[in-house]
Structure 1
Amino acid sequence: MAEQVQLPRLTDGYLGPQAKFYPYGLTTMSHSEPVIHSDTNQVEIVIGMSEKTRFTVKLLSVEPKFECNQHVLTQVQGNEYHFTIAVPKPGFYKFQIYALPNSEAGPNMINVYNYLLNVQQVDRYVENFPKQYPLWKQEGCYLFEPIMLLKNTREPSIKFKYYVPKAVDVQVKVHEDWNQLEQTEPNIYEGYIDFSKGYPAGAKVKLNVKFGRSHKYDTLLEYTI
Structure 2
Amino acid sequence: MTTEVRPELPEGYLGAQPKFSELGMSTDSHPDPEIEIKDNKVEITLKYTKPVKITHQLINTRTEADLADYVFVQTNSADQKISLVVHMPESDFYKLQIFALPLTDESKSLPNVFNYLIHCARVNNPVYPFPKQYAQWKEGCYIKEPVVLNSHSKLTNIKWKVRIPNAKNVAVVADGEWHHFEKKDDGNWEASFSLDKLRGKDAKVTLNGNFGDDESKYSTLLEYKI
TM-score by length of 1: 0.90
Q: CA deviation at 1:156?
A: 2.2
The aligned amino acid for 2:14 is L
Partner Cα separation in structure 2 for residue 173 and residue 199 of structure 1: 15
The aligned amino acid for 2:166 is K
Partner Cα separation in structure 2 for residue 209 and residue 103 of structure 1: 20
* Equivalent residue, structure 2, for 1:62: 61
**Identity percentage over the alignment?**
35
* Equivalent residue, structure 2, for 1:202: 202
Partner Cα separation in structure 2 for residue 200 and residue 175 of structure 1: 12
Deviations 1:108-163 (A, max 9, x none): 2111110001111122222111111111111x110101110132657322111111
Partner Cα separation in structure 2 for residue 162 and residue 106 of structure 1: 27
The aligned amino acid for 2:119 is N
Summarize the Cα distance change of 1:191–1:36 in structure 2 as closer, same or farther, 3 Å threshold: same
Q: CA deviation at 1:183?
A: 1.8
Summarize the Cα distance change of 1:118–1:191 in structure 2 as closer, same or farther, 3 Å threshold: same
1:90 aligns with 2:104: no
194-203 or 112-121, which deviates more: 194-203
The aligned amino acid for 1:212 is G
Partner Cα separation in structure 1 for residue 16 and residue 156 of structure 2: 46
Q: CA deviation at 1:105?
A: 6.7
Contact in 2 for aligned 1:173/1:179 (Cα 8 Å): yes
24-33 or 120-129, which deviates more: 120-129
* Equivalent residue, structure 2, for 1:159: 159
List gaps (5 residues or longer) in structure 1.
Answer: none
Q: CA deviation at 1:223?
A: 0.6
* Equivalent residue, structure 1, for 2:220: 219
Partner Cα separation in structure 2 for residue 104 and residue 155 of structure 1: 39
Question: What is the aligned-residue RMSD (CA, Å)?
Answer: 1.8
* Equivalent residue, structure 2, for 1:13: 12
* Equivalent residue, structure 2, for 1:149: 149
Contact in 2 for aligned 1:152/1:198 (Cα 8 Å): no
Aligned positions of 1:121-200 closer than 5 A: 121-138=122-139, 140-151=140-151, 155-199=155-199
Summarize the Cα distance change of 1:105–1:129 in structure 2 as closer, same or farther, 3 Å threshold: closer
Secondary structure at 2:54 match in 1: strand
* Equivalent residue, structure 2, for 1:119: 120
Contact in 2 for aligned 1:53/1:99 (Cα 8 Å): yes
Partner Cα separation in structure 2 for residue 180 and residue 104 of structure 1: 32
Partner Cα separation in structure 2 for residue 169 and residue 103 of structure 1: 23
List gaps (5 residues or longer) in structure 2.
Answer: none
The aligned amino acid for 1:210 is N
* Higher strand content, 1 or 2: 1
Partner Cα separation in structure 2 for residue 98 and residue 32 of structure 1: 17
Secondary structure at 1:20 match in 2: helix
TM-score by length of 2: 0.90
Secondary structure at 2:22 match in 1: coil
